Structure 1
Amino acid sequence: MRVEDGPHAVEIRGLRKRFDGQDVLQGLDWSIPRGRTIGLLGRNGAGKTTLLRCMLGLMPINGGTVEILGEPMDEPRGERLHRIGYVPQTFDLFPWMKVAAFLDFTSAFYRSWDAALCARLLEEWSIDTRKRISTLSQGQRQMLAIIRALAPGPDLILLDEPVASLDPKARRDFLATLMPLIQGTGRTVVFSTHITTDLERIDADIALLRDGAIAFTRPVQAVREQIQKAVLRADAGTAYVEPPQVPGVLAARVDSGAACYVVDAGDPETLTSLQALAKREQAQLSFTTLSLEDLFVEMA
């Protein structure tokens, strides 16, 4: 596998995408280190699919720049097509073709195609190559799309909610097979999802897409160890309408009259500011650990 010398597989600066006069991506900046697995987390409709398609040049952008593997991604072409694997949210191509014919047809476009890996995954995922694609279940079609993306041995793999159509057991079995194929190989992987439990099972960095921008990026382990919820509760009979401003917090809201903040427990300045606020307002300050799902609810 060819490995790029630069430290980042993807560099995005000021990316804007507008639909019907409304900004979906609002000056988004994002650098994706080479060789990492990134879980792109966001609510349904947050713009995850739009972001991935803009990254690949499959959708025109309204501003900003995208570089993939060290080159501007103004349109998908040439050498990079052999180095990028993409799995869309739904796979609806060539429904009339049989699986075997589709894979033979697809492999002809790539100078490097791992036929042994392809055969192994077809067997492990119980995909009958004699069937037409239209007769496969949605989950099997998605698995076929993943085989098509992995077999050329790409340097960058973009997976757009690849397991959303699978039940929980099938998702767990699928990830157990998939992740050893892509982690620790030097490949860069972007794994778009809104299912937090899937990301907690893999060693990934978490990137949260919110309000048209990447609002938060941390390794899963750092989320478990450092990210907490701070609750500032005033004396009985007093309720906050808006959370008092505290520098450095990751998110803030009011819940049942209490001011709630998402904070990095490793940031002493933010913690000192919260403690000073609690003392000044004679309020109770408490901290609780957040799971990845808690973080998603609080920040998304």
Structure 2
Amino acid sequence: MSKTATVDRDPPVVRVRGLRKSYPGTENAVLDGIDWDIPRGRVIGLLGRNGAGKTTLMRCLLGLLPVDEGEIEIFGEPMDEPRGERLHRIGFVPQTFDLFKWMRVGSYLNFTAAFYRHWNRTLENRLVDNWGLDRRAKIGKLSEGQRQKLAIIRAMAPEPDLLVLDEPVASLDPQTRAAFMNELIDVVRHYGKTVILSTHITADLERAEADIALLDGGRLVLEMPLAELRERIRKVELTRACGWSEPPEVAGALSSEVAGTRLTLIVDQVGDAQLGAIAKQYEAELSVERITLEDAFVALA
């Protein structure tokens, strides 16, 4: 599937060209020639199957993993390793947070704040209170969800220009997850920050009206705003009294499923006129529904 690039007059916050990364003992490259421009002031939802390389891509972007080939620029400068001025402008939440288990929550936040030129204490205090974190508790005694909350606070309090979040809400309860997404959306809309968010919870990306980037086979096979994706990929139902013995061949169909009298299709770039002609050909009643991001992801992946 061809890619649709987001057009933005400002230079990209992240620019990637020809990124390639392999691991010893693997036959195929995890990342195989990634080209990617990430614009300012957007939430980018990075999707892909388990093992598609999302975590590898994020860590390469931040200089936490060496790359085999390619160029990475962040804020217009080569990203060889996380150092200097850029550290103050980047926030990162990894999948797991296992550091400093012996420290208490409050001490850890004070310790971390000392490394940044700016730290929003008001935001820190609000999130700590709203998310029910005990400043006196040792990090090693926190639940997985509580540690994830702490990692998010650590990443957001410096108010970075770029937030890179690797499955940040997987361990959060629904109420905290909703509160976090509201904070994230507010940061992007009011302060022009950029967020790269890897998640399997597609409803969160729909809430943020994110741009979608789909990683498959070591490449980014799709990049586009969610609104454009919904216009391009649609869910179609064709119903007829005699039923369907098997799904017919339909150009542009990503998936098809028969259930009695109903044929359900997920189609890509199939216009209303073409759908009407298909319905007429098979003497079927036509219904077109707005697709969910989860359905689109399953069909594309």
TM-score range, shorter chain: 0.7 to 0.9
DSSP-derived class of the 2:197 partner: strand
The Cα offsets for residues 227-264 of structure 1, whole Å up to 9 and x where unpaired, read as 2146899x977767xx68x5xx5x745656x9966313
Q: Which residue of 1 aligns with 2:267?
A: 262
Shift in Å, 1:199: 1.2
Match for residue 208 of structure 1 among 214, 221, 226? 214
Q: Which residue of 2 aligns with 1:62?
A: 68
Are 1:91 and 2:97 counterparts? yes
Q: Which residue of 2 aligns with 1:21?
A: 27
Are 1:44 and 2:81 counterparts? no
Shift in Å, 1:110: 0.9
**Does the CA-based 8 Å contact 2:47-2:198 persist in structure 1?**
yes
Distance in 1, Cα, partners of 2:15 & 2:276: 38
Distance 1:239-1:201 versus aligned 2 partners, 3 A rule:
closer
Shift in Å, 1:126: 1.0
Distance in 1, Cα, partners of 2:31 & 2:144: 29
DSSP-derived class of the 1:8 partner: coil
Distance 1:252-1:227 versus aligned 2 partners, 3 A rule:
closer
**Amino acid aligned to 2:189:** Q
DSSP-derived class of the 2:213 partner: strand
Q: Any unmatched runs of 5+ in structure 1?
A: none
Q: Which residue of 2 aligns with 1:293?
A: 294
Are 1:124 and 2:130 counterparts? yes
Distance in 2, Cα, partners of 1:176 & 1:108: 27
Once superposed, what is the RMSD of the aligned Cα atoms?
3.0
Distance 1:63-1:274 versus aligned 2 partners, 3 A rule:
farther
Q: TM-score, normalised by structure 1?
A: 0.82
Distance in 1, Cα, partners of 2:196 & 2:295: 22
Distance in 1, Cα, partners of 2:158 & 2:176: 25
**Does the CA-based 8 Å contact 2:247-2:257 persist in structure 1?**
no
Q: Which residue of 2 aligns with 1:8?
A: 12
Distance in 2, Cα, partners of 1:174 & 1:229: 30
Distance in 1, Cα, partners of 2:283 & 2:233: 20
Distance in 2, Cα, partners of 1:261 & 1:299: 9
Instruction: Report which stretch shifted further, 167-176 or 59-68.
Output: 167-176
Q: Which residue of 2 aligns with 1:187?
A: 193
**Does the CA-based 8 Å contact 1:6-1:70 persist in structure 2?**
no
Shift in Å, 1:176: 2.9
DSSP-derived class of the 2:170 partner: coil
The Cα offsets for residues 100-139 of structure 1, whole Å up to 9 and x where unpaired, read as 1111111111111112211111111111111111111111
**Does the CA-based 8 Å contact 2:21-2:31 persist in structure 1?**
yes
Q: TM-score, normalised by structure 2?
A: 0.82
DSSP-derived class of the 1:23 partner: coil
Distance 1:119-1:261 versus aligned 2 partners, 3 A rule:
closer
Q: Which residue of 1 aligns with 2:5?
A: none
- What percent of counterpart residues are identical? 53
Distance in 2, Cα, partners of 1:236 & 1:39: 37
Q: Which residue of 2 aligns with 1:163?
A: 169
The Cα offsets for residues 171-229 of structure 1, whole Å up to 9 and x where unpaired, read as 22332344323433111111110111111112211111122122222222233344214
Q: Which residue of 1 aligns with 2:77?
A: 71
Instruction: Report which stretch shifted further, 209-218 or 91-100.
Output: 209-218
Distance in 1, Cα, partners of 2:88 & 2:38: 19
